[in-house]
Amino acid sequence: MSDQIRLKKGLDLPISGAALAEVTARVTPDLVAVKPTDFRGMVPRLLVKEGDSVMAGTPLFADKKNPGMVFCSPVSGTVDAVVRGDKRKLLAVRIKADGRGEAVRFDVPKIASLDKEGMTELLLRSGLWPCLKQRPFGTVADPAAEPKAIFISGMNTAPLGPDPEFALKDDFAALQAGVDALGKLTRGGVHLSLAARSFAGGELHKLTGVVFHQFEGPHPAGNVGVQINHISPINKGEVVWTVDLHLVAVIGRFFLKGVYDTRRIITVAGPAAVKPSYVEVPAGVCMSSLASYFEQGNVRVVSGDVLSGEAVGRDGFLGFYHNQVSVLQEGDYYEMFGWINPFRSKKFSVSRAYPAFLRRKKYDMDTNENGGERPFLMNDVYNKVLPMDIYPLYLFKACLAGDPDKMEQLGIYEVIEEDVALCEYVCPSKVEIQNIIRGGIELMMKEM
């Protein structure tokens, strides 16, 4: 079918608190939020006001540039608050759920009967379009664009992330419907990358109408950006779309049941998680619904993984694209002679300057920076964790210099923040590399 791509560079973070393969709760939330900030490149226009009652699938806001693209409520209830930040920037629409689970019913035609325009129109109208992300830059897909292909990562290598085979084990019918629907949107095919063990015999391998690719290697081998770089790298002027596997199931459910159903099985895990396991939640669920999984004390609750997720706090909300919650102790302590200690057995380092490479154990990682910020000094640490044909240090420096030509030449189209997150993790100078890439991407979007 397809050859196996073996990646050597990268790092599987030995962080403690991995989730047990067990669904311990199916959360019916009290509060959810849809955050426009989850969707890059989108300028929201509000469609509801506080006090309005909504159902699952009722549009809350639309994109000013694409009025047809709507973003919907994942549950039924009333609009509790419209949260705004500086300059009245719309940060979130909060919905108080009524628990009745009422949903807008869509009249769904057969997938086979739809053409590209019909499919696009239906996905836009139903609020499912934002499931599609676009590379370069990781924006919400542009409905007018002609994508080279659609890529889905069927493997998850992110630290503490859910195993797709387990989390989606009841959703294979939905996944099949989802990939069939996506197949209508591109002539380049739907490409699904699987880990070696999901191949041949795995449930995901039974899907039809997709092009399979097999990947092996440490994180970030499961990042769709890395996979694209090896399957069919993005060149200037090209556009590809990506969809997270759990959102393919959401699209599929829409075609099976005719409702906007964003429920997903996520992991709640990490060193500060109580009973780390799998939980079923809708998109945008409030972390307070998961409070029993968090340890007391000064704990950081991250929507997403510990490398590229967003710290949202105990009262924050799960991001639209996220399928895991990571819980960590805040590391606001002083450590005497930490860097002189020859062993430092409680901390992990990928560098052999510490003997951590001799230990096979998981570490209770926390959020301590483990050092002060310095200029770039070491030059060979970054490419060891970025399995792409890119010179990371030069790309970072081009972003810092704000030079769009250089950024383009050095590969800015091929990465988003999550792809360089490990570079930030290993950086001995503690440089905020994801912020640098974010700055570069924002500059490029302004220039184009």
Partner 1 sequence: MAKNFFDKIRPTFSEGGKLSWLHSSFDAFETFFFVPNRVTRKGGTHVKDCVDLKRLLIIVVLAMVPALLFGIWNLGEQHSIVFGLGWGFWQKVWYGFVKIIPLYLISYIVGLGIEFASAQMKGHEVSEGYLVSGFIIPLIVPVDVPWWMLAIAVAFAVIIGKEVFGGTGMNIWNPALLARAFLFFSYPSKMSGDSIWVGGLSKALAGGTPWKGGEVVDALSGATPLSHASLDGLSAAGTSAWNLFLGNIPGAVGETSVIAILIGALILICTGVASWKIMCSSVLGALFVGWLGTVGGVTDIPCWEQLLMGGFAFGTVFMATDPVTSAQTETGKWIYGFLIGALCITVRLFNPGYPEGMMLAILLMNTFAPLIDHYVVSANINRRLKRAKTV
Report if residue 218 touches partner 1, rule: CB under 8 A: no
Tokens of 311: 């710290």
Cβ closest to partner 1, residue 78 vs residue 232: 232
**DSSP string covering 32-81, please?**
EEE-GGGSTT--EEE---TT-EE-BT-EEEEESSSTT-EEE-SS-EEEEE
Q: Are 260 and 74 in contact (CB under 8 A)?
A: yes
Q: What is the largest CA-CA distance in the chain?
A: 68
Shorter beta-carbon distance to partner 1: residue 183 or 428: 428
Binding of partner 1 by 252 (CB under 8 A): no
Q: Give the integer Cα–Cα distance in Å for 257 and 251.
A: 10
Quote the tokens at residue 243: 């969809």
Count of residues of this chain found to bind partner 1 when the rule CB under 8 A is applied: 77
Residues 355-414 interacting with partner 1 (rule: CB under 8 A) = 356, 365-380, 383, 389-391, 393-394, 409-411
Q: Which range, of 107-115, 136-144, 168-176, 308-316, touches partner 1 by CB under 8 A?
A: 308-316
428 scored as a contact of partner 1 (CB under 8 A)? yes
State which of residues 110, 352, 360, 446 lies at the interface with partner 1 (CB under 8 A): 352
Q: What is the DSSP letter of 274?
A: S
**Nearest distance, CB of residue 318 and partner 1, angstroms:** 16
345 forms part of the interface with partner 1 (CB under 8 A):
no
Please give the structure tokens belonging to residue 169. 């084990």
Q: Which is nearer to partner 1, 104 or 221 (CB)?
A: 221
Query: Considering beta carbons, is residue 209 or 341 the nearer one to partner 1?
Result: 341
Q: How distant, in Å, are the alpha carbons of 33, 55, 59, 161, 314 from that of 300? A: 19, 32, 31, 17, 8
Short-list 79, 17, 97, 58, CA closest to 282:
97
Taking CB under 8 A as the rule, does residue 303 contact partner 1? no
Cβ proximity to partner 1: between 217 and 411 the closer is: 411
Q: Is 270 left (phi over 0), alpha (psi -120 to 50) or beta?
A: left
Asked if 7 is part of the footprint of partner 1 (rule: CB under 8 A), the reply reads no
> Which amino acid, 268?
V
The verdict on 302 binding partner 1 (CB under 8 A) reads: yes
Please give the Cα distance from 104 to 259 (Å, whole number). 6
**Sole binder of partner 1 in the list 429, 442, 443, 444 (CB under 8 A):** 429
- Tell me if 115 contacts partner 1 by CB under 8 A: no
Tell me the closest approach of the beta carbon of residue 219 to partner 1, in angstroms.
Answer: 12
Single residue of 40, 45, 96, 438 touching partner 1 by CB under 8 A: 438
Query: How far apart (Å, rounded) are the C-alpha atoms in residues 93 and 103?
Result: 18
Q: Does 314 bind partner 1 (CB under 8 A)?
A: no
Residue holding tokens 């769904």?
Answer: 108
**Residue 229, H or E segment:** helix 224-231
Q: Which span sits near partner 1 by CB under 8 A: 168-176, 184-192, 203-211, 433-441?
A: 433-441
Give yes or no for residue 272 binding partner 1 (CB under 8 A). no
Q: Does 343 bind partner 1 (CB under 8 A)?
A: no
Q: Is 216 helix (H, G, I), strand (E, B) or coil?
A: strand
Do 192 and 212 touch, CB atoms closer than 8 A?
A: yes
Instruction: Please tell me whether residue 15 binds partner 1 under the rule CB under 8 A.
Output: yes
Q: Any contact of residue 333 with partner 1 (CB under 8 A)?
A: yes
| Candidate residues 309, 319, 387, 440; the one interacting with partner 1 per rule CB under 8 A | 309
